[in-house]
Chains A and B, each alone.
Chain A
């Protein structure tokens, strides 16, 4: 941020305290040092006056922020608290350096998809041999020292045998599919558009089912889908204050995605989506701005462009929805995922209390602040469970891991599928229904039945 812009933003904070109102961390800690205005004020001291002698105490304050933007939403002067948390993190990295694990993650592993793959293989091996529980038991005590990778091992769910990129190799081009999802005559039709799909790390290695659903739904709706080679979006690094590492990853993606020559760039991870949309600001090049302008979240894309409703079949589930911060407040997508869910016949949507309050995962926050993340997550779990829903849908794999974990801890584990997975399931149900009965107008018959049961 240039000095003038920084000064303007610092002036905008009047310290009125409105940022205390909705801050999940403040609600748990009731500790003034972890508030947006405290960080703005520290940033003022650090950057504007340059007369503040920094101590290691800054690291703790800078990092105890979810970056959820609840403060920005509340602030009458629209001061963006997370901007200052990130600014202070940059300063911490500058002054004291990164922790060894973060350095390894941001500089060593994340920029190289191959290394992410090896890490996933190692994690899966540990999980299969039960070694993870052993390691987990050891690191529970050492989390506080910032043992990021070891903590991640304990936080990750069971990894699937085949990641998405083993099913659809980087560079795959998938033509439009018939209504039943198969390669039929439609594959020869001119696609409605050519879409590059950015799956990110988690929906590749941890939740490939999301990626498969996204590809399936897009193809059924007449789109050609490309799976370009790609690496980590860079958000973990930029959120962690390592802008140089973030820029490196962003630049590599800008080049790779540019080569895919697509009409739009589709994301299904709220965090990746928000990162891609910030590439323009982060890199400041025309190429980066072009990528940012093309990036669209799958929920928003389907709702805006429309999707086939005739082919949908019944999914008899009660579902609630959790708003990822990176979708609602970073990408301004507050209602589209719910609209997708509402379109599914048989599905009963129940809104939960405080649906848009951060789940506490917040990327690596769950690793650096396991206790706080657990307390914030417990509130979320209670609200989700109170709806009586069978699933708590969400559009971010990081939220998903947290939601599945905290609901287990709260006594009744809920799956946290991406809305598009439920949509794909609805299409599959429609296929099955049409196969079973072959009335005059099969699609309509299936719809009529499921609508009745949804009411």
Chain B
């Protein structure tokens, strides 16, 4: 039932793996491997063996072995990917890095920290914040995802509009190449223009070019204070105007989240936060800075929203009240997951000014395919999360959802946007890569991949259109051809 695929490993190979990490950290039982074949998407493919590493040296020796034998290797952190990154499509080895979770150095003097890839992002954030420092990348899964995965996918979250994504905080990396060689790239300085920027190349390489075993990340001083606002608008046009005006007024918010009418209604039914049900759009705005500027910034943003036509603006200065305002956004994912058995969630991104237009088009797509689409996301950086409500057990509804995804991508590209703002390509978006990149650009990417990983052992089947992609086999129901499908478990995520 592990498909028609031959196991990529034999007994002699397993024996050699055992010699590297010991028998306890080599998992071969099906029930154990099964757990390492899933992430936050609805697909699954069990690896042939799981190797739980603890040190860079082990990573190097495992990769050298796999390289020699031509065995596929899929690196894995906490498995919270929304693009299928850690799913071992070609079987082989699942390289589990959660055990490499030491913070090796925290240096306020150089405003940096050196961490292993298995460090949980939120743990690092709490550690440095206690000392007055700040590591901003904030994927919604920060409390359980790992830095290694963040680097591989170049993760970010609501604070991205002001603070950018993971790549903006990488100073240097130690990377094990597919043949087991260990290299270091970048360094410990804020400025560094020596050689190609390989640090950024490995960032968002989705585990296809190397395995990060150590990362030097940049820290910034922790902002002193913040103010949170919740503004209700008649429609997206008004909300969009407010977004544009905030920037035009010289204010750079840390967060600018937008929710549509369906999201507002669903969240209100779920948690009774006192949201305006007559609103067509809602903005959650957060601005940070010195305490003295909070009052002024709060008033300025409030005035801008009102001028744009806001029916109501709520301002919160004290932390308890701020948490309350945030709550409506935080429960969005569980609340909307009740709307349908499956929610296909995308993370398309357009230039900020095209956002209102994208929303109109997304709603039209919903009408065209006959499935409801809810829209929310990070308005500040043009990163939207359209949620297509469907039922993966129903072939017709599933086909329509796939059609909707395709149309979403088409409109996004037409508006000058990108397929993915923060989730990565994996195999969820790989069939659509040619929509965004020309043939020559894709060939260059493949050439890079080939130069670093000539045998193609690292995370095969991702990023580029590929016959191993379960999506091309016709959706989740047909995923069985690759490995275990994840039926009856809709992806209903939410950053």
Contact = CB atoms under 8 A, between A and B. Distances in A.
Nearest to B480: A51
Contact of B36 (A33, A48, A76): A33
A11 B490 contact: yes
Contacts of B491: 14-15
Contacts of B341: 11
A185 interface: no
B489 interface: yes
Contacts of B79: 15, 17, 32
Interface stretch (B155-163, B330-338, B374-382): B330-338
A98 B486 CA distance: 30
7 closest Cβ pairs, A-B complex? A57-B29, A57-B31, A38-B35, A76-B334, A33-B35, A30-B98, A17-B80
Contact of B486 (A12, A32, A41, A54): A41
B488 interface: yes
A77 interface: yes
B145 A17 contact: yes
Given A17-B141, A30-B101, A57-B31, A44 B1 contact: no
Contacts of A49: 487
B7 to A, nearest CB: 15
B63 interface: no
A52 interface: yes
A401 B178 CA distance: 50
Interface stretch (B38-46, B239-247, B254-262, B442-450): B38-46
A286 interface: no
Contacts of A52: 1
A88 B241 CA distance: 54
B341 to A, nearest CB: 6
Interface string B88-123: 000000001011010000000000000000100000
Given A20-B144, A77-B337, A13 B35 contact: no
Interface string A22-34: 0000000011110
A354 interface: no
Contacts of A78: 334
Contacts of A60: 31
Contact of B489 (A33, A35, A44): A44
Contacts of A10: 488-489
B287 interface: no
Contact of B35 (A7, A32, A51): A32
Contacts of A35: 35
Interface string B456-495: 0000000000000000000000000000101111111100
Contacts of B36: 32-33
A17 B40 contact: yes
Given A10-B489, A21-B144, A33 B30 contact: no
A7 B484 CA distance: 17
Interface string A60-90: 1100000000000000111000000000000
B281 interface: no
B409 interface: no
B231 interface: no
Interface string B14-48: 00000000000001011110111011111010000
Interface in B325-348: 331, 333-334, 337, 341
Given A18-B144, A48-B487, 13 more contacts: A14-B491, A16-B40, A16-B80, A16-B493, A17-B144, A32-B35, A41-B486, A45-B484, A49-B487, A54-B31, A57-B29, A57-B32, A61-B35
B143 interface: yes
Nearest to B31: A57
Give the one of A12, A31, A58 with max B CB within 10 A. Answer: A31
A205 interface: no
Nearest to B40: A16
B489 A38 contact: no
A381 interface: no
A18 B141 contact: yes
B226 interface: no
B78 A44 contact: no
B52 interface: yes
Contacts of B31: 33, 42, 54-55, 57-58, 60-61
B58 to A, nearest CB: 14
A199 interface: no
Given A51-B1, A76-B331, A76-B333, A15 B38 contact: yes
A38 B34 contact: yes
29 contacts: A13-B489, A14-B489, A15-B491, A16-B141, A16-B333, A17-B145, A18-B144, A20-B78, A21-B143, A30-B98, A31-B52, A32-B76, A32-B96, A33-B27, A33-B35, A37-B35, A38-B34, A42-B31, A44-B486, A44-B487, A44-B488, A44-B489, A45-B484, A48-B488, A49-B487, A57-B32, A76-B333, A77-B337, A77-B492
A32 B41 CA distance: 16
A53 interface: yes
Interface string A83-103: 000000000000000000000
A52 B485 CA distance: 12
Nearest to A10: B488
Given A41-B38, A58-B31, A7 B488 contact: yes
A80 to B, nearest CB: 14
B334 A15 contact: no
A42 B38 CA distance: 11
A45 B1 CA distance: 11
